[in-house]
Amino acid sequence: MAEKNVIGKWKLVRSDENFENYMTQIGIGKVGRAWRKKYKPTQIIVKLGNKMAIRTTNGLFVNLAEFELGEELTEKTVKGEVVKTTYTFEGDDEQTLTSTSNGSKHGILKTERVVEGSEMVHTLTICDIVCKRYYKKVGEAPPFEKVIPPKPGSADAPASEHDAKEEKEDQED
């Protein structure tokens, strides 16, 4: 069955040969490249109105990108560089999610997540290096608030440490 959009839970199934070249170009060392090639990350992509989040888990780390479509934000690359990134949807069916990051000393970073049949193809581009990573859908997206916990002090934040612990346990279930 073909998926209609990128919203959901996705697991990496394979990468093309350019993944090594891409990682080298963005400045990841030999040990980091070997580690990243070994693990198969999971991406959870959620949307609430114009807000979106992508949570990527990969072995030992969790990366969370929270953004509003079409608005520039400041974020860090895997190497800790501060870049300005804008995420947009292309098409009217939420099938293609793109981002462009400016400010890296390595060049402009572009990503595209597009659903093709039953896979999500995650294309990573820097300079003239294009890498494709292929994901299969392994579940539906959880509610937005399960991916993005409320900010401390907000009306939706837990009232106590006990409440926060219960919320964390709920998220792990």
Taking residues 28-38, report their average pLDDT: 87
Of the pLDDT bands very low, low, confident and very high (cuts 50, 70, 90), residue 161 is: very low
Residue 90, pLDDT score? 80
Give the DSSP letter of residue 143.
Answer: P
Contacts of residue 97, defined as CB under 8 A and 6 or more positions apart, other chains included, come to 6, 45, 52, 87, 88, 89, 90, 112, 113, 114
For residue 121, what is the domain's CATH number? 2.40.128.20
Domain with 134, as residue range(s), is 8-142
Among the residue ranges 90-94, 95-99, 159-163, the one predicted with the least confidence is: 159-163
| Confidence (pTM) | 0.78
7 in Cβ contact with 16 (< 8 Å): no
Asked if residue 91 belongs to a domain, the reply is: yes
In a domain, 95, yes or no: yes
Burial classification of residue 17, based on how many CB atoms lie within 10 Å of its CB (0-12 exposed, 13-18 middle, 19 or more buried): exposed
Q: How far is CA 88 from CA 18, 26, 70, 128, 137, in A?
A: 25, 22, 5, 22, 21
- Number of structural domains in the chain: 1
pLDDT digits (tens, 9 = 90+) for 72-91: 999 888 778 899 999 998 87
Residue at 76 is within a domain: yes
